[in-house]
Structure 1
Amino acid sequence: MFQMKQMLVWSTQKICPSPNFDKMLKHPLFMMIDGMSQAYRAYFAIRGLANSQGLPTNAIYGFAIMLKRVIEKYPPDYICVALDSSEPTARHTQYGLYKATRKRMPPDLAQQIPYIRRFCEAMRIKVLEVSGHEADDILGTISSQAVNAGFYPVVVTLDKDLYQLVDTILILNTSKDDMIVDREKVRELFGVAPEQIPDLLGLWGDSSDNIPGAPGIGEKGARDLIQKFGSIEALLDRAPEVQNPKHRTSVLENKQQILLSRQLVVIDTKVPLQVEWTDFKVQPPDRAALMPLLRELEFTGLIKEYLPPEAGPVVEILRTETLPDIRDRVVFDVQSDRVSLWSGREIVASVPLDERLGPILSNPAIHKITYDVKEAILKLRRRGIELVPPYDDPLLMAYLLFPNRGKYELSDVVFDLMGETVSPGEERTPWIDRILKDLAPKVQEQVERPYREIEIPLSAVLVEMELAGLRVDVGVLERMSKEMGAQLDDLTRRICEIADCDFNINSPRQLGEILFDKLNLPRPRKLRKSGQYSTAVEILEELAEKHELPRLVLDYRQLAKFKSTYVDVIPKLLDPKTGRLHTSFHQAAASTGRLSSSNPNLQNIPVRADLGRKIRGAFIPEQGWWFVAADYSQVELRILAHLSGDERLAEAFSAGEDVHRRTAAAVLGLPIEAVTPAQRERAKAVNFGIVYGQTPFGLAQQLGISPEEAAEFISRYFERYQGVQRYIENCLSEARDTGVTRTLFGRIRQHPEINSRNGMRRSMAERTAINSPIQGTAADIIKIAMIRIDAELRRQKLRTRMVLQVHDELIFEVPEDELSVRDSVQDLMQNVVRLDVPLTVDVKQGKTWEQLG
């Protein structure tokens, strides 16, 4: 038998040779992996990892990382993975209590074992499972056969039972920094030879497998006895010679139990295995199987590591001044001064970005495809080129199909869908075409209506709004900046006086030292990752009730944020040609379907904050023009009334009543005229809290009442509005069954954590499942209104322009002689969709944004 008795010491990334190392390497290295021990270790070492569908992936990920690491450190010639059988083994027959104390495999680990098996198969790694046999015995058998066949076996395991085989194998212990274990290492670790491990464990026992051993004899006692007597048989024969009375009594009284324990830990090397050694030969991964698996698991980093990108589509780029002959379909990509045009052949035409593109991009008979059509329309418009429908945009397709994904750069979408990499500077049009062909059928099946009727036509509307921009009174902002600068100086002085020293208020570390060390204010329970105490807003707000300094710091932070984010930045963002602010609107942003804006984010200027109102006062219309604001009133509650079919809620809206006062009266059992402002505010919090899936605890915090009072208020609410309660139950039931919720117009949102065993994650998913159809429908409604209003303004050839969308409000810049457009806007918005309750739109006008309220 080929034996390995020379110690191998691992250093850096290599096995450093012992004197006989060259001789050993004459044998092919056969790596044998104890799959179950590795899966368990990964499961407990990595917590909370799951894909976007809620599938736990921590054990799979840890296993994959381990596998990559060990095969890179010790490249094998042959490889296999052994897994346990689910059926009882011979050890269970010998000892009915075998593993009886071991908890059942956690369900979310059991869920991952088939994926580990699939992963191994996709890696073309042979998986060994034998009914009624444990992975240890399979490894013992295959390693014994492999040694006889001339291989060099290395078993990758965490299980000390397998150390008894070290005379014929090496152990790679991945829990000990990938420690190589040979015969000498076993002696160092356990004080006995590998063949004595069963004797050692027979006395010591093994609590993880419920192997009893000898009562009262632990690891040290067992080691001392085996070192002295050599084996259990010799120990039992000479039991009277044991000096320790306690140990002597245990050995004399538990002979059969000791023998059984040893028998239970002996590795069976006779498992019936029929093997073909060629099945274990290391091979390249099965790319066609591994790629979709890693994509399903969302192991994007591992895709790059396990599957280096293949070459992208091979095309020739022809720089030309002449337009290609394109008749029915073109994929195009707008760069800074050129446009790539591709019709699906081998050649991409790169042509100048000028009016000569008109015959192609303005031709309604040609189907146009581009990535981020809003940006393409904007760039083309600035060169005097109109992009005329029909056109498609894979970015919007990806956004509607995967609204939780968050990142929609072309390279991200290509990688997520195909696991391939778009190199910087690479021609994009073939990639755009490939992902379009992947996504288009899914869009048609799942989200055709919001794609065709909302997002695609909205792109052109947003371009018009961006081009229109907003006029800004820079003088107002300059005066504000000076005033805010003086206020910040004053706050700095006051804060430092209270602290009795100068320090950097913007430094969390220095502020924490002042608050918690110098002033001895109550320390927060949790530390930041840096080890410092948190000085986040919620911490400061709590401390502000006890001391003046945290309150002043909060004032300082708010003032500094408004100054740096808006007051000082907006003048720098004005277009030198138009003198106006051209904010950017983003469709593929919020998972609910809401729009966002940037440069700057005008939607985040708080309307109720005094500073927010002052900043809005700097936005003004053209001379002789007005701002007109049209705002949906309580649109989400009206959508709730419609979706839930709750008669009482619908009745309140249809009657034009104050729904919050009505709710307070209904829940508290009061006449509506007897409801106090405080009671109305409480009812308002409940109404909107229901929309956002608020818990009694959350409501209690918001209203400053006990959780019991909040729970009682919510309970009374549902007694009164039973239709709302049924809606919530149905919504959650649908989400649990399908993982998805839909808006009235077919926009979807996935809720992968809705069935999670993690209570916090499940609760969050339940809240979003309740809210998404409501908030998403509100987003759809205002988007449809924007499309229809834009069409109406064009039809009437009005100069009025839509300039801003903020939440449920649209803002227009209107010439004095077109103010009658208010009525058209209000009518269009109120009739976007017929609900069971009326949609109400409040319209205001003013000479500044601030005056719109």
Structure 2
Amino acid sequence: MTRLVLIDGSSYLYRAFHALPPLTNAAGEPTGALFGVVNMLRATLKEKPDHVAFVVDAPGKTFRDDLYPAYKANRPPMPDELRAQVQPMCEIVHALGIDILRIEGVEADDVIGTLAVQGAGAGMDVTISTGDKDFAQLVRAPGVDAGSIALVNTMSGSRMDSDAAVMEKFGVKAGQIVDLLALMGDAIDNVPGVEKCGPKTAAKWLGEYGSLDGVMAQAATIKGKIGDNLRAALPRLPLNRELVTIKTDVALEQAPETLRLREPHVDTLRGLYARYGFNQALKDLEAGAVAGGGSGPAGAVAEKEPGRARSGGFAAPAQAAAVDLDPALAAPGEYEAVTTVERLQAWIAELRDAGQFAFDTETDSLDPMRANLVGLSFAAVPGKAAYVPLAHDYPGAPVQLERGFALDLLRPLLADATVRKLGQHGKYDLHVLRRHGIELAGYDDDTMLESFVLDSGNARHDMDSLARRHLGYETVKYEDVCGKGAKQIAFSQVAIDDATRYAAEDADITLRLHRVLTQRLVAEPALTRVYREIEMPLVPVLERIEANGVKVDMDELRRQSADLSKRMLAAQQKATGLAGRAFNLDSPKQLCALLFEELKLPALVKTPKGQPSTNEEALEAIADQHELPRVILEYRGLAKLRSTYTDKLPEMINPDTGRVHTSYHQAGAATGRLSSSDPNLQNIPIRTEDGRRIRRAFVAPPGRKLVACDYSQIELRIMAHLSQDPGLVRAFESGADVHRATAAEVFGRTLEEVTGNERRAAKAINFGLMYGMSAFGLARQLGIGRGEAQDYIALYFSRYPGVRDYMERTREQAREQGYVETVFGRRLYLEYIRAGNQAQRAGAERAAINAPMQGTAADIIKRAMIVVDGWLAGQGKPGEGPALMILQVHDELVFEADEAFVPTLVETAGRLMASAAELSVPLVVETGIGDNWDEAH
């Protein structure tokens, strides 16, 4: 069947503008929206449609403005940086061979609607590429004598192609969408609907009465305030219906058959892609893949690879500006397998003469504390690299250098701090080399961290993603040489020629990436300081903390597992009694049937597909209406503790060290907070007795103690520093209980008169405002009315006006520059700070207020870790001194120390941590000592 794709160009442009950060090319021209449009166009063309049109709104009024003069009256003018991207967008669309349609007097929606209906009538398979919900009214499945009309959202990948699909998303059929929109109204187009009538209410009415006319006819029977609102809106609903109906009979010169996709104008595209820095598109163009060649589904996450420690983070959309690239950085490299002493010595001399080189290790495990070295790779100039195989043991493998001998030859170079080393997620490689007797020195640069500091909001900092993003280079994947699934082989089994192509590329691409990323860092002095003074010095510190590990008490864990199992069984039995029958507490389907069908409890929280949810939020919402949800929550909490900690931790004890070794991730959270995994120590619940019991299993060996040093109320102190509010600063300078001081200010009491409830309210406000808590959220947390909560907030701001001014000032700065900064210059980009969607924009504004505080707290503890580690290094050899830094969790550092050394550690570590930043208020460190982690609190 002939395929027709109709692209909603206006939707593409605005969605890309609001979804992507303010990118620019090397000349400073804005490219963010353009970049998004080009990627969506390339994804669309990859499907090879027969006919295509790119439809945009024509300037001037339309027939809807005549019907309703206030139509779209509240829309702001197009931002200048977006307007500057319209013409280049049109040039690229034309060069791709796509017709652009602009028809005066109607909207782009009407042009698309007309062409869609005509195309389907002619038997075409029509796809409308858009994110606009209004087009759901056009959806139709293929008929006997007619084609189909489907909606595809290129940004999310979703498809809507039948009444069933429309019903699943909107609760009504395609033929009822117009009536749904008429009832709801459209705030974006300034079409007022029935007040307080959202999509669920509108869908419910249409389900009962069939159509807008049916709803209007039954308006007198609808009770309550919503019924009053419906009756008040009756006079304008017919006009609403006319305004939201997409015309399908516009007189057009073009017919669907005339919109054939033309051959692209390659020279024009080449110039445009080069000008705007669209390197992947340019690479595909040169390869003859103009109509596609994308890099996989957006947001796809590559798995970690044994033998290649490429994975660098977890994270969100790119903030990177496009850069001009040296074509050599995207060219294939020349790689050598080094299997003789002479060639290894020649490479060692070359690396030493270069003064800096990139390196990587290949291993047999993802766990750096257990990984055995299979080979190493090196590169000193882009495009040339070597792989030194050391332990490939497949049948017929060539003779290789003996591992110990080769490492002895390499040791002087690797241990020489004057020769700078460069890696990608090099902390892994430091572990591997240390396990093999080499303490690497001179580790000066890490491309994962360069990328993270520059683009902290980006979801991916692994090598494959960075190579694609910055070099336009597709790397060899681990699966390409090792296979997948059950047939995957160990890296030691890979043929050396294939291993060389893969492994040497690691070092080569790392070096090439560094050449690109370091140029961007040089242009950002504040970010360079974050990278040089915080992130890079932290790498060996984290490696030492991970290597130190922590001792766990297996007997204590067994006791806790047994207790948790016993209590889980009791909770199961109680739940069965409350339900009156047996059921599976771990089955969401059975829970839904029991809670919402049998017990008739309200389904207050829904899944993304609109089904009743049984997640923690959903059960909490109905826990005051029946005892069963609370029992289920108790059961889940116990089960999670057992599966995640008491059963799991014994399995994670390293047999060589007898300890648990977590892994810390620097490129995890956009704010700079460290995260941990295997095990995740950040998520141990500490507000419950059961959670605190887990910490009792983390113990000190005989003759030693655990010492926990925790920053007190650090984010509130940072708020005082950033806001410079006199009252808040004064509260911290006086050393008073800040929550009691806040309560005294807000409620007009002396410190002695403040009640426990007033202090609790003040504490909720102090912390809640940093996270954007609303009056509704505060009311819910304190169990008071919303009006009373709003009065509390108003009182707070009247006593701490500097906090209110800081919050407003920060929102405005975020809107102007697209990012916020920590005290030390770390940036957090806010992709939705200018979004048209109110919920997205509000979320970005909350992040704008919180990120400087959370990010500054992260910077402070990182700085503290660096300086404390430096002091500990002077007390003895790594891993053998009188004290070890063994854990970092949130705002806390945990040490293991000889009992005699504890007073020195408490005094010095506390002092160093307190001096890690100079704020307007003192940093206070609280210290605890114990035989286990819980006792040390």
Q: Same fold (TM over 0.5)?
A: yes
Indicate which of 77, 87, 96 corresponds to 1:125: 96
Structure 1 residue 86 and structure 2 residue 59: aligned? yes
Structure 1 residue 306 and structure 2 residue 279: aligned? no
| Distance in 2 of aligned mates of 1:386 and 1:393 | 17
Do the aligned partners of residues 58 and 356 (structure 1) sit closer, same or farther apart at CA in structure 2, a change above 3 Å counting? closer
**Match for residue 864 of structure 2?**
785
**Match for residue 893 of structure 2?**
810
TM-score (normalizing by structure 2): 0.68
**Match for residue 636 of structure 2?**
557
Once the two structures are TM-superposed, the CA of residue 407 in structure 1 deviates from its matched residue by 2.6
Do the aligned partners of residues 266 and 606 (structure 1) sit closer, same or farther apart at CA in structure 2, a change above 3 Å counting? closer
Is the Cα–Cα contact under 8 Å of residues 51 and 57 in structure 1 kept in the other structure? no
Structure 1 residue 39 and structure 2 residue 12: aligned? no
**Match for residue 813 of structure 2?**
734
| Distance in 1 of aligned mates of 2:864 and 2:858 | 10
**Match for residue 334 of structure 1?**
361
**Match for residue 301 of structure 2?**
none
| Distance in 2 of aligned mates of 1:631 and 1:663 | 22
User: Which structure 2 residues correspond to residues 215-226 of structure 1 after superposition, within 5 A?
Assistant: none
Do the aligned partners of residues 299 and 48 (structure 1) sit closer, same or farther apart at CA in structure 2, a change above 3 Å counting? farther
SS at match of 2:691: helix
Do the aligned partners of residues 526 and 744 (structure 1) sit closer, same or farther apart at CA in structure 2, a change above 3 Å counting? closer
| Distance in 2 of aligned mates of 1:338 and 1:66 | 39
Indicate which of 716, 728, 731 corresponds to 1:637: 716
SS at match of 2:825: coil
Structure 1 residue 748 and structure 2 residue 748: aligned? no
Indicate which of 741, 744, 761 corresponds to 1:682: 761
Structure 1 residue 566 and structure 2 residue 645: aligned? yes
Is the Cα–Cα contact under 8 Å of residues 467 and 509 in structure 2 kept in the other structure? yes
**Match for residue 436 of structure 1?**
514
CA offset digits 1:412-469 (Å, max 9, x no partner): 2223334442221432222212221221122233311111011101110111111110
| Distance in 2 of aligned mates of 1:297 and 1:715 | 52
SS at match of 1:492: helix
Once the two structures are TM-superposed, the CA of residue 508 in structure 1 deviates from its matched residue by 0.3
Do the aligned partners of residues 289 and 530 (structure 1) sit closer, same or farther apart at CA in structure 2, a change above 3 Å counting? same
Structure 1 residue 408 and structure 2 residue 461: aligned? yes
Structure 1 residue 372 and structure 2 residue 425: aligned? yes
**Match for residue 269 of structure 2?**
286
| Distance in 1 of aligned mates of 2:593 and 2:743 | 47
Once the two structures are TM-superposed, the CA of residue 317 in structure 1 deviates from its matched residue by 2.9
Structure 1 residue 826 and structure 2 residue 910: aligned? yes
**Does 421-430 or 633-642 show the bigger shift?**
421-430
Once the two structures are TM-superposed, the CA of residue 622 in structure 1 deviates from its matched residue by 1.4
CA offset digits 1:652-709 (Å, max 9, x no partner): 1111111111111111111111001111111111111222232222222211222222
Is the Cα–Cα contact under 8 Å of residues 708 and 893 in structure 2 kept in the other structure? yes
Once the two structures are TM-superposed, the CA of residue 471 in structure 1 deviates from its matched residue by 0.6
SS at match of 2:523: helix
Indicate which of 546, 549, 555 corresponds to 1:475: 555
SS at match of 2:682: helix
SS at match of 1:343: strand
CA offset digits 1:475-529 (Å, max 9, x no partner): 0111111222122222222222322222211000011111122222x23145435
SS at match of 1:340: strand
| Distance in 2 of aligned mates of 1:665 and 1:136 | 58
Once the two structures are TM-superposed, the CA of residue 118 in structure 1 deviates from its matched residue by 3.6
| Distance in 1 of aligned mates of 2:695 and 2:142 | 68
Q: Which has the larger radius of gyration?
A: 1
Structure 1 residue 509 and structure 2 residue 589: aligned? yes
Structure 1 residue 159 and structure 2 residue 186: aligned? no
SS at match of 1:306: coil
SS at match of 2:765: helix
RMSD, matched Cα: 4.3
Indicate which of 39, 43, 64 corresponds to 2:41: 64
CA offset digits 1:38-91 (Å, max 9, x no partner): 4368799x9998235597799948973795277x242x7xx8867665368xxx
**Match for residue 216 of structure 1?**
none
The one-letter code matched in structure 1 to 2:625 is K
**Match for residue 231 of structure 2?**
none
The size of the alignment, in residue pairs, is: 707
Do the aligned partners of residues 312 and 103 (structure 1) sit closer, same or farther apart at CA in structure 2, a change above 3 Å counting? farther
Do the aligned partners of residues 101 and 315 (structure 1) sit closer, same or farther apart at CA in structure 2, a change above 3 Å counting? farther
Do the aligned partners of residues 498 and 304 (structure 1) sit closer, same or farther apart at CA in structure 2, a change above 3 Å counting? farther
Is the Cα–Cα contact under 8 Å of residues 53 and 101 in structure 2 kept in the other structure? no
The one-letter code matched in structure 2 to 1:485 is S
| Distance in 2 of aligned mates of 1:577 and 1:563 | 25
SS at match of 1:545: coil
- Flag structure 2 segments of 5+ consecutive residues without an equivalent: 24-31, 129-137, 148-248, 255-260, 296-326, 364-373, 391-402, 479-501
| Distance in 2 of aligned mates of 1:347 and 1:42 | 42
Is the Cα–Cα contact under 8 Å of residues 16 and 37 in structure 2 kept in the other structure? no
TM-score (normalizing by structure 1): 0.74
User: Which structure 2 residues correspond to residues 125-204 of structure 1 after superposition, within 5 A?
Assistant: 125=96, 158-159=113-114, 174=127
| Distance in 1 of aligned mates of 2:663 and 2:624 | 40
- Overall identity of the aligned pairs, in %: 33
Structure 1 residue 839 and structure 2 residue 923: aligned? yes
Indicate which of 519, 525, 534 corresponds to 2:599: 519
Do the aligned partners of residues 571 and 130 (structure 1) sit closer, same or farther apart at CA in structure 2, a change above 3 Å counting? closer
Do the aligned partners of residues 106 and 51 (structure 1) sit closer, same or farther apart at CA in structure 2, a change above 3 Å counting? farther
| Distance in 1 of aligned mates of 2:927 and 2:684 | 20
**Match for residue 463 of structure 1?**
543
Is the Cα–Cα contact under 8 Å of residues 382 and 508 in structure 2 kept in the other structure? no
Once the two structures are TM-superposed, the CA of residue 399 in structure 1 deviates from its matched residue by 1.1
**Match for residue 273 of structure 1?**
none
SS at match of 1:851: coil
| Distance in 2 of aligned mates of 1:471 and 1:772 | 34
SS at match of 1:581: coil
SS at match of 1:317: strand
**Match for residue 882 of structure 2?**
799
| Distance in 2 of aligned mates of 1:494 and 1:295 | 61
Indicate which of 816, 840, 846 corresponds to 1:761: 840
**Match for residue 19 of structure 2?**
50
| Distance in 2 of aligned mates of 1:725 and 1:330 | 50
| Distance in 2 of aligned mates of 1:429 and 1:758 | 43
**Does 718-727 or 507-516 show the bigger shift?**
718-727
User: Which structure 2 residues correspond to residues 600-619 of structure 1 after superposition, within 5 A?
Assistant: 600-619=679-698
| Distance in 2 of aligned mates of 1:753 and 1:298 | 25
Structure 1 residue 579 and structure 2 residue 658: aligned? yes
| Distance in 1 of aligned mates of 2:592 and 2:290 | 42
Do the aligned partners of residues 516 and 172 (structure 1) sit closer, same or farther apart at CA in structure 2, a change above 3 Å counting? closer
Is the Cα–Cα contact under 8 Å of residues 729 and 921 in structure 2 kept in the other structure? yes
**Match for residue 696 of structure 1?**
775
**Match for residue 240 of structure 1?**
none
The one-letter code matched in structure 2 to 1:670 is R
SS at match of 2:381: coil
**Match for residue 494 of structure 2?**
none
| Distance in 2 of aligned mates of 1:85 and 1:334 | 57
The one-letter code matched in structure 2 to 1:51 is L
**Does 800-809 or 384-393 show the bigger shift?**
384-393
| Distance in 1 of aligned mates of 2:579 and 2:274 | 59
Is the Cα–Cα contact under 8 Å of residues 83 and 134 in structure 1 kept in the other structure? no
The one-letter code matched in structure 2 to 1:39 is G
Is the Cα–Cα contact under 8 Å of residues 43 and 58 in structure 1 kept in the other structure? no
Is the Cα–Cα contact under 8 Å of residues 404 and 750 in structure 1 kept in the other structure? yes
